[in-house]
Amino acid sequence: MKPLQDQPYSSSAVGLQRTFGVEEEFLLVDPASGQPVPVAERALRHVTRNPGTAGGPTLALEVKQEQLEVIGPVCSRLQQLAEAILLGRMMADTAARAVGARAVALATSPLSATSTLVQQPRYLKMAARFHLTLREQLTCGFHVHVHVASGEEGVAVLDRIRRWLPVVLALSANSPFWQGTNTGYSSFRYQAWSRWPTAGPYEQFGSLREYRRHVEALLASGVLLDEGMVYFDARLSRSHPTVEVRIADVCLEAAHATILAAVVRALVERAAQEWWAGVPAPRLPAEQLRLASWMASDAGVEGNLMHPLMYVPCPATEAVQALLTHIRPALVSSGDEEYVRLGLAGILAFGTGSHLQRAAMVSSQSLAAVVMDAVERTHGTATETPGRARHLHST
């Protein structure tokens, strides 16, 4: 077994922190009705005329005109990433306001909506191939990119973080409503997203060569248009030296997004250390992971999850504690341990976005009011609940 101190990109070994960044997808909604509105291209043209800070977040189109994506910068410190998330949300909302809309961090629309395709060649081909799946596709995710030193290290990380990803989904759950209906799920986005042919858990790969062989076989099937449609819960990025964790809903509150990004970075760091130390990846079939992800999508943090080590149902608090225990050494090394520990406790105590949406529905009896409350929470202007996760002051 290789000693941990021999691994080349470890915060604990050499005083470095893995760089990371996030992508957040937002709905664009009418500020009066809460209805999604197809204004993304118009909003983006406004941003082109009024560019943001150089080196900061950028805005991009997604597949539907009712969405905007914020692509965050590469960060090394959690404080830096937290500030970038807040800035990106402000930029998206500023662009939306310029065309009479608001940007909101909802993973699905609570109100019934007919979405509008962005007329780009790739999306037009997807529409012809995937029919109703694409027509109904209006979901917003949260993607975390974490640097890896090589493709081999990246695949080793993918093999070792698989069992923890359902807990990440549960902590992000922010989509209880779909097309005007209370779905009963905490993350219905994950259910809707699972209709795509490659979405969800993946089998253990073992090597970069096997990962590439697996992807090539998927492409050879003729079902996918390109490698960008390999929608695993986590994957190697096609364009960056990163592992991209894609399982999460977009988080309603910016502080939750920061917490989850820190969790994912620590998972990657811990997995890389295990690989360099010669610790084998646990062998778990994808079918078992699919059950764990279904439970996370159903319950969020308000019911039972699959225990990520013992693989029996347990209270969400136990699953989250197991996750925190696993990543604590990496969090301590990066200086993020206290913030993440308190932040996870806050999510468990006061709920994810799903809980907050349902609470807003109970108090207002109006899905439009749910959306408006979510707009305020997206941008940090809602009344704070005592004890909720506080913003970073230092890392």
**Structure confidence at residue 54 as a pLDDT band (50, 70, 90):** low
Interval 167-213: pLDDT, tens: 999 999 999 999 999 999 999 999 999 999 999 999 999 999 999 99
Mean pLDDT value of segment 259-282: 97
Interval 306-353: pLDDT, tens: 999 999 999 999 999 999 999 999 999 999 999 999 999 999 999 999
The answer to whether 28 and 101 are in contact (CB under 8 A) is yes
| Burial of 44: CB neighbours in 10 Å, binned 0-12, 13-18, 19+ | middle
Q: Which fold has domain 4-378?
A: Creatine Kinase; Chain A, domain 2 (3.30.590)
Interval 132-170: pLDDT, tens: 999 999 999 999 999 999 999 999 999 999 999 999 999
- Write the DSSP assignment of 125-192 as a string of letters: HHHHHHHHHHHT----EEEEEEE-SSHHHHHHHHHHHGGGHHHHHHHH--B-EETTEE-S-SBHHHHH
pTM listed for this prediction? 0.93
pLDDT at residue 395, rounded to an integer: 34
100, 174, 242, 367 from 33: Cα distances, Å: 12, 20, 39, 9
The answer to whether 207 and 152 are in contact (CB under 8 A) is yes
Q: Domain ranges for the chain, please list them.
A: 4-378
